[in-house]
Structure 1
Amino acid sequence: MDGEHREPCASHRRPALGDGFREESLAEDLLLLLFQPRSGTIAGEGTLFYVLAGAILADLGLGGHVRTGSGGVKGLTVEAVADSPPSDHLLRDTWEYLAEKPRGVQTVLAARGPALREPLLDRLIERGELRRRTRKTLGFIKTSVLEAGDSGRRSLLLADVRAVLVDEVGPTPRSAARAALLYGSGTLPQFDPDIPWTSPVIARAEELKDGNWGAKGTAQAVTRTVTSSIVSSVVAAGVLPRN
């Protein structure tokens, strides 16, 4: 359940996201996390396209499909790795866009983000992780509402983010990117009390946002560096609200 408190265990094992669940894209995971079961709404709609496009870029980084470069005054640039297209068509669309020429992160977010919500939502509904129901208001006006499905995946994702931010379990690159992008969406306070909005949690999220993802094996070093740079740049591009 969303309100269930997961106590850290002695071995600091993270929730078993892989047990019975195929790996989904980071953008799908984030959209599912941002769905609020109590209200049937998606949190952070105003900045959603930034977050989803940032997750697509992060997934391309994790898969070794893109590399980063310095764009000078334009900041971080991203370009496609030649002959390394991803199989997922949503990822591939962005990879092909980057294959035309290197582009700044902000340019990618603005160009690719607005078209992502509906196809990603359709995927979640097709798998039963969310349900779309039609109801009538005022007796005759039909409106579409979202409801939680029965897969249990959102609870596992929420527990994984909690493990990283609250229990300070060493993150995998994927879980670090997921937690940092959720923080960057500006919606993390809405997850309290499941993920308490406290100074230690904010400090931990800031570490992840800045690319401090902990020690990892050398085989992951390149993709980890590329992905953490992308995530940091996405958040700096204006996703995270400034007080």
Structure 2
Amino acid sequence: MLILEDYLLLTLDDATGKTVVDASYREQVAAGALLVELALLGRADLAGDGDGGRVGRIVVRDASTTGNALLDEALDVVRSKEGSKPKALVGPIAKLKPAARAVASLADRGVLRREEGRVLGIFPTTRWPAADSRHEDAVRRDLWRVLVDGEEPAERTAALAAILAATGQAGRVLAAGGGRGAPVVVDGAPGWTAAQRRAVDARAKQIAADSWATLAVKAYVEEITAAIVIGATVATTSAAASG
């Protein structure tokens, strides 16, 4: 599973198939998650002193196929814009609609279930309830151990926590999961208090700030998550204005 797919599973309600977070900027988050994945795979990186004077700019370290269509298309975008700042790539990759495509792929693989319906009997809508929650349960257990129990994270868990921290969603998605799959349930979650959610959000931010990756990868991820925050702010403001 991609980090993007883990994020999407966490932010979809297993029973209703509705997103449990603001979906207005989901494609920007998805684009950022793909860029983070490329860094962890060693495909993209920030240029250093030996990379032709483009220190801090994105550079492709390995252009070979990843075996995943979404990642390969994202890597093509990176190649076409090599030398840009990482945050400049979020928008172009978001135009590929990675979140929508990843959700459809999860349904094709039997992880989610596609349910077509209509709002008010008129407007078509699609929901994505869980069909097989085993992988999501494992992801939640990992996050619980790190964000609630305070264990040190593996690299991919830390990257996912950084994305959740950037969007302020860590406490919300864990509470929405009701502690399912976790060894301990905090006060019978999902009835968490606001303070408990804030504590999880704070822990996610701490993880994002810690030295969980190489300095170059960490700097790269920090730029990507900053771009996600900007995209989220723009999307939310635009949605409010149109409402």
**TM exceeds 0.5?**
yes
The verdict on how the C-alpha distance between 1:50 and 1:227 changes in structure 2, with shifts beyond 3 A counting, is farther
Are 1:51 and 1:184, in contact at CA under 8 Å, matched by a contact in 2? no
What amino acid is aligned across from residue 208 of structure 1 in structure 2? I
What amino acid is aligned across from residue 233 of structure 1 in structure 2? E
What residue number does 1:110 align with? Answer: 91
What residue number does 1:197 align with? Answer: 197
What residue number does 1:235 align with? Answer: 225
1:207 aligns with 2:197: no
1:92 aligns with 2:72: yes
State the alpha-carbon separation in 2 of the partners of residues 137 and 204 from structure 1.
38
DSSP 3-state at the match of 2:36? helix
Superposed displacement of residue 164, structure 1: 1.2
Let me know the Cα RMSD of the aligned residues: 2.7
DSSP 3-state at the match of 1:79? strand
What residue number does 1:69 align with? Answer: 47
Unaligned runs of 5+ in 2: 49-54, 176-188, 234-243
Superposed displacement of residue 127, structure 1: 1.6
Among 132, 135, 142, which residue is 1:150 paired with? 132
State the alpha-carbon separation in 2 of the partners of residues 143 and 95 from structure 1.
31
Are 2:34 and 2:71, in contact at CA under 8 Å, matched by a contact in 1? yes
What amino acid is aligned across from residue 81 of structure 1 in structure 2? R
What residue number does 1:79 align with? Answer: 59
Are 2:143 and 2:157, in contact at CA under 8 Å, matched by a contact in 1? yes
Superposed displacement of residue 232, structure 1: 1.5
Post-superposition CA distance 1:108-138 (Å, at most 9, x none)? 1111024212210111101221111123555
Post-superposition CA distance 1:123-171 (Å, at most 9, x none)? 1101221111123555576532221112422222122111111112221
Post-superposition CA distance 1:80-109 (Å, at most 9, x none)? 114444221211112122223222222111
The 5 A counterparts of 1:13-24 are 24=1
User: Greater helix share, 1 or 2?
Assistant: 2
Are 2:32 and 2:228, in contact at CA under 8 Å, matched by a contact in 1? no
**Could you state the TM-score of these two structures normalised by the residue count of structure 1?**
0.73
State the alpha-carbon separation in 2 of the partners of residues 133 and 40 from structure 1.
8
Post-superposition CA distance 1:155-197 (Å, at most 9, x none)? 2212211111111222111110011112212223423236841
What amino acid is aligned across from residue 165 of structure 2 in structure 1? Y
How many residue pairs get aligned? The number is: 206
Among 15, 18, 26, which residue is 1:41 paired with? 18
What amino acid is aligned across from residue 31 of structure 1 in structure 2? L
What residue number does 1:56 align with? Answer: 34
Are 1:55 and 1:181, in contact at CA under 8 Å, matched by a contact in 2? yes
The verdict on how the C-alpha distance between 1:44 and 1:229 changes in structure 2, with shifts beyond 3 A counting, is farther
Identical pairs, percent: 25
The verdict on how the C-alpha distance between 1:34 and 1:137 changes in structure 2, with shifts beyond 3 A counting, is closer
State the alpha-carbon separation in 2 of the partners of residues 206 and 25 from structure 1.
21
State the alpha-carbon separation in 2 of the partners of residues 104 and 25 from structure 1.
23
What amino acid is aligned across from residue 136 of structure 2 in structure 1? R
DSSP 3-state at the match of 2:57? strand
Post-superposition CA distance 1:21-74 (Å, at most 9, x none)? xxx11111111111123542222312212221111111111111111137xxxx
